[in-house]
């Protein structure tokens, strides 16, 4: 059975590499829904062909005003409704409830503010102090669309801004606070099985736990203008040590740069 599910996921549906914890439940649900649809497709098509043959004109010159008397079709309809209810109540709702109702604590996670704009993805990290500096849209610039207030907020001094290149440690929840600077974008990482609209004026959180080190594609999943196709970014999942080292280096550079601007 597991071989069949593997074949279904990776050969037939060609799902992207899976690298997040909750992703398996998403993939399983995709397989079950497709399996049900396959059964319905074959069943309805077989019935269609049967009806064409069974009620052909040469055999039935006159319409029958009474119609079918057996209850088989009712039972079949009931069966389909039952399987759909099981998929919805047994799989979809619990998965959604788990993800939506039990997000990880910020202190146990890698927290990143994500800002989409025409046409790239920007990230704001708290830096090694773990404290997110204040953002002020009046300070927003080409290299820092968030407008992190490095001058007045001490928490902001070591904050790190990235563009199209996100780095996170493996096996630790990642919380993304997603928004947009201009139009509606959508932050999608297929391998993590997440996709969240980035809407101007709203900050919406989503989260996942990466389970495999590597580089994964980030895409914009909402047609957002002429350069939509260029909104590709990279998510790099590394070990905790590599992440800490990267964050410390990036924070040092950011601090140095902000001092030289003053
Ligand atoms: Cu976009």
Domain boundaries, the chain: 2-101, 106-261
Is the sign of the CA dihedral 107, 219, 92, 212 positive or negative? negative
Tens of pLDDT along 2-25?
Answer: 888 888 888 888 899 999 999 998
Tens of pLDDT along 212-259?
Answer: 999 999 999 999 999 999 999 999 999 999 999 999 999 888 877 765
Distance 120 CA to ligand 1 centre (A): 7
Q: Beta strand 110-117 with 174-180: parallel, antiparallel or unpaired?
A: parallel
Distance 183 CA to ligand 1 centre (A): 8
Place of tokens 């799989």: 91
Distance 232 CA to ligand 1 centre (A): 9
CATH superfamily of 106-261: Cupredoxins -  blue copper proteins (2.60.40.420)
Question: What residues contact 52, with CB distance under 8 A and at least 6 apart?
Answer: none
What does the pLDDT average to over 121-139? 90
With a cut of 50, say whether residue 260 has pLDDT above it: no
What does the pLDDT average to over 153-160? 88
Q: Which whole-number Å values give the CA distances from 225 to 117, 155, 178, 220, in the listed order?
A: 10, 35, 19, 11
Question: What residues contact 131, with CB distance under 8 A and at least 6 apart?
Answer: 155
Residue pair 134/148 in contact by the 8 Å Cβ criterion: yes
How much is the pLDDT for 261? 44
Distance 42 CA to ligand 1 centre (A): 38
Q: Which of 169, 164, 161, 173 is closest to 234 using CA atoms?
A: 164
């Amino acid at each position: 059975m597991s071989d069949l599910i593997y074949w279904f996921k990776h050969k037939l549906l060609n799902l992207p590499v899976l690298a997040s914890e909750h992703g398996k439940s998403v993939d399983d649900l995709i397989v079950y829904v497709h399996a049900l649809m396959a059964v319905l497709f074959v069943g309805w098509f077989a019935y269609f062909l049967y009806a064409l043959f069974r009620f052909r004109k040469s055999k039935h010159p006159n319409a029958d005003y009474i119609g079918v008397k057996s209850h088989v079709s009712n039972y079949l309809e009931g069966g389909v409704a039952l399987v759909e209810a099981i998929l919805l109540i047994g799989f979809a709702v619990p998965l959604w409830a788990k993800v939506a109702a039990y997000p990880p604590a910020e202190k146990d996670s890698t927290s990143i503010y994500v800002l989409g704009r025409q046409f790239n993805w920007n990230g704001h990290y708290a830096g090694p102090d773990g404290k997110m500096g204040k953002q002020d849209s009046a300070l927003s610039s080409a290299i820092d669309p968030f407008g992190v207030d490095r001058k007045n907020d001490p928490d902001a001094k070591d904050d790190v801004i990235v563009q199209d290149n996100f780095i996170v440690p493996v096996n630790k929840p990642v919380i993304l606070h997603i928004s947009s600077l201009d139009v509606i974008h959508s932050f999608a990482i297929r391998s993590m099985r997440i996709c969240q609209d980035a809407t101007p004026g709203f900050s919406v959180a989503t989260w996942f736990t990466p389970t495999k080190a590597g580089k994964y594609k980030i895409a914009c999943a909402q047609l957002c203008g002429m350069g939509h196709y260029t909104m590709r970014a990279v998510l790099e999942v590394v070990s905790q040590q590599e992440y800490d080292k990267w964050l410390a280096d990036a924070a040092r550079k950011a601090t140095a740069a902000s001092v030289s601007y003053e």
